[in-house]
Structure 1
Amino acid sequence: MPEPGAAARRSPQGVPYADLQHIVNADGLHLFCRYWEPAAPPRALVFIVHGAGEHCGPYDEIAQKLKGLSLLVFAHDHVGHGQSEGDRMNVKDFQFYIRDSLQHVDLMKSRHPDLPVFIVGHSMGGAISILTACERPGDFAGVVLIAPMVQMNPDSATPFKVFLAKVLNHMVPSITLGTMESKWISRDQKQVEAYDTDELNNHGGVRVSFAMQLMGATARIEREIPTISWPFLLLHGDDDKLCDIRGSKMMYEKTPGADKKLKVFEGGYHALHHDLPEVAESVLKDVTSWIADRLPAATSPETQGS
């Protein structure tokens, strides 16, 4: 139910939040939400976490596949992204993304208290997913990471560049470091064009202050990795120019948990779920089968007298 006064608040696109599914975060900002509810009683909850500069709309295909397994899928546009309020692709503290994610997860768990919860995160959404699961390790049945941001690209994180970024962040945090090149998102030109023409994506530059938040998040992940024991599936392309595959390999090698898997896609670009059709299809199968294998057997329709 929309809260009182929601009609007065409009999305960055001018749509009243009273007409949009949304939650209100701890800072009073409206976050646009999507829900994919199965016809049958849900067997689990799956939270999808999008990456930097994009929104949750392009995850419809993955969500529909998961919905087909009788899973209830939910997502929101992060603060400052898509149809949510907030300064565009900028955040004072990376922890706000994690806090908002836990708020949404808690809301869905309150409605479905007995269901296991999974997370699917891509790129920066992968970093948010990792830190969210680290904050509440007992709350999640598994985490799927598609080309997650685990380490900063070594080319962009040399000691001098880090020093320079810190100086700039102190003096002029709003200065931009250039834009992300969309050609590195996918080897499928149609997907690149779809990204470029999607008005809900952020096509501007990355601010120094935002880059510093990303750097801080990867440093925090590196500290958390030795403690990670929750199940995870890592999918990464070995020609990813945006999130370095070495981060995924490091996470796979250094986490102590037994239930973990790394699958490398030869020649794969950053958005594997939107890469060449055969890769995207494989990713859909990998994600759905990995989650399906970890669903409680007792709730499976096959075991209920079918």
Structure 2
Amino acid sequence: MVVSDFHVFVRDCLQHIDLMKKDHPSLPVFLLGHSMGGAIAILTACERPTEFSGMVLISPLVVASPDVATPIKIFAAKVLNLVLPNLSLGALDPYVVTRNKKEVDSYISDPLVYHGGMKVSFVIQLMNAIAKIQRSLSKLTLPILVLHGSPDKLCDIKGSYLLMDTVSSQDKTLKVYDEAYHALHKELPDVTTSVLTEIQTWILQKLSAAEEAHHC
């Protein structure tokens, strides 16, 4: 949970995309990101604004949680980053990720999930990424689908509203789930089914429209 620069994630994402395009040069490319992955997807799209056929964001990180990012806590994090960059802060509460107990249990027992506290230096990188996202949103013109649960305690839904208001895309859709938590694709079965259906339908519509435009 330490990275020298948040752009490392964007670099790796672009590298993967280039590998896929080399193997499948005729296929359109869609970005999909959840939570911090949403932040990575947004910054990836900003790096190459005309390259992608669309972007799907599930509970994206666009603004910092107001409970976490108080002015005092931000100042404290900056000071701590100078003297104790590897200090661990509070761990994530798994019970705010989803209302689906089976998924919570799976999350808790998954050895590939990092269960420690977030490092101070990483919090600073996240804050830098959020600031860059907010400066860059107006660059985006690609089709965007955003799905977010209104009571999300990990990535504030205000970020998705800000994104909708700021991006230059003409084709943008926000679907809000009134009672769902953060990981919509790991939520109660009715929510998860709805989310996956929304995403599939939206991507198929974009592909169909592109196919029609190609033949015109």
The alignment's TM-score, normalised by the length of structure 1, stands at 0.68
Q: TM-score, normalised by structure 2?
A: 0.95
**Higher mean C-alpha deviation, range 107-116 or range 172-181:** 107-116
Provide the C-alpha distance between the structure 2 equivalents of 1:138 and 1:255, rounded to a whole number of angstroms. 14
- Equivalent position of 1:119 in the other structure: 31
Deviations 1:22-60 (A, max 9, x none): xxxxxxxxxxxxxxxxxxxxxxxxxxxxxxxxxxxxxxx
Runs of at least 5 residues in structure 1 that lack an aligned partner in the other structure: 1-88
Aligned counterparts of 2:18 and 2:123: Cα–Cα separation in 1: 29
- What's 1:234 paired with? 146
Is residue 160 from structure 1 mapped to residue 72 from structure 2 by the alignment? yes
Specify which of 182, 188, 202 is matched with residue 290 of structure 1: 202
Secondary structure at the aligned position of 1:264 is classed as strand
Which portions of structure 1, spanning 4 or more consecutive aligned residues, are displaced by more than 2 angstroms?
A: 296-300
**Structure 1: distance between partners of 2:197 and 2:8:** 32
The correspondence for 1:276, drawn from 166, 188, 210, is 188
Cα deviations by residue, 1:43-95 (Å, 9 ceiling, x for unpaired): xxxxxxxxxxxxxxxxxxxxxxxxxxxxxxxxxxxxxxxxxxxxxx2211000
Q: CA deviation at 1:168?
A: 0.2
* 1:170/1:127 CA distance change after superposition, 3 Å: same
Cα deviations by residue, 1:119-140 (Å, 9 ceiling, x for unpaired): 1100000000000011001110
**Aligned match of 1:150:** 62
- Specify whether residues 109 and 296 from structure 1 end up closer, same or farther in structure 2 by C-alpha distance, changes over 3 A only: farther
Would the alpha carbon gap of residues 220 and 298 (structure 1) be closer, same or farther in structure 2, given more than 3 Å must change? closer
1:261 partnered with 2:179: no
Counterpart of 2:97? 185
State the shift of 1:297 in Å: 5.9
> Following the alignment from structure 1 to structure 2, what is the Cα–Cα distance between the partners of residues 290 and 261?
10
> C-alpha distance in 2, partners of 1:120/1:289?
14
1:269-297: CA deviation from partner (whole Å, max 9, x where unpaired): 00000111100000000111111111156
Provide the aligned length of Structure 1 versus Structure 2.
213
* Alignment partner, residue 245 of structure 1: 157
Query: Which has more helix, going by share of residues?
Result: 2
Question: Greater Rg, structure 1 or structure 2?
Answer: 1
2:59 partner amino acid: A
The structure with higher relative contact order (CA 8 Å, sep 6+) is: 2
SS class of match (1:256): coil
Matched-pair contact (CA < 8 Å) for 2:164–2:174: yes
User: CA offsets, 1:122-176, max 9 Å, x none?
Assistant: 0000000000011001110000000000011112111111111000001000001
Q: Which residue of 2 aligns with 1:80?
A: none
Select the structure that is richer in strand: 1
Q: Distance in 1 between matches of 2:24 and 2:111?
A: 34
Q: Are 1:90 and 2:2 counterparts?
A: yes
Residue 86 of structure 2: which of 174, 180, 183 is its match?
A: 174
Aligned residues: percent identity?
52
Q: What is the CA RMSD across the aligned residues, in angstroms?
A: 1.5
**Structure 2: 5+ residue runs without aligned partners?**
none
Determine the C-alpha separation between the residues in 1 that align with 2:136 and 2:209.
Answer: 31
Counterpart of 1:85 in structure 2 is none
